[in-house]
Amino acid sequence: MQHKERVGRIDPPVWRGAKLNYQFIEIEHHNSSDKPMSPIEILQEFNSCYVKIQAIAQNENWLLLIADKKIDPEVATHVGDTLHYLGEVMGCVEEIVEVKFNQESKS
């Protein structure tokens, strides 16, 4: 991420965070103009993200970057944490999908 310099200083982290929040709101606004997503569609999107992140985590070039200490080894931990928490989210959404599926199959 590039930081704009202001009189020889970079933006403080709070400003950078505000900019990230603004970017997220823009993404959220864009998605809100689409039709609402069903629980199964939400689960599919999370699963797609999980698969992509997992592919990066297992990629030979990624592993070499870590092994060669070209990036902070703690980054690998963060990626693992991301996969863990995304898996937890998917488990929660799966429960909703299963309940909805069971309700619809009984109808």
Give residue 99's pLDDT.
78
Instruction: Pick the range with the lowest mean pLDDT from 17-21, 34-38, 64-68.
Output: 17-21
Q: 94: closest CA among 49, 46, 28? A: 46
* DSSP annotation of 6: E
Q: How much of the chain exceeds pLDDT 70, in percent?
A: 67
Name which residue leads in pLDDT, 88 or 105. 88
Retrieve residue 80's tokens: 């693992």
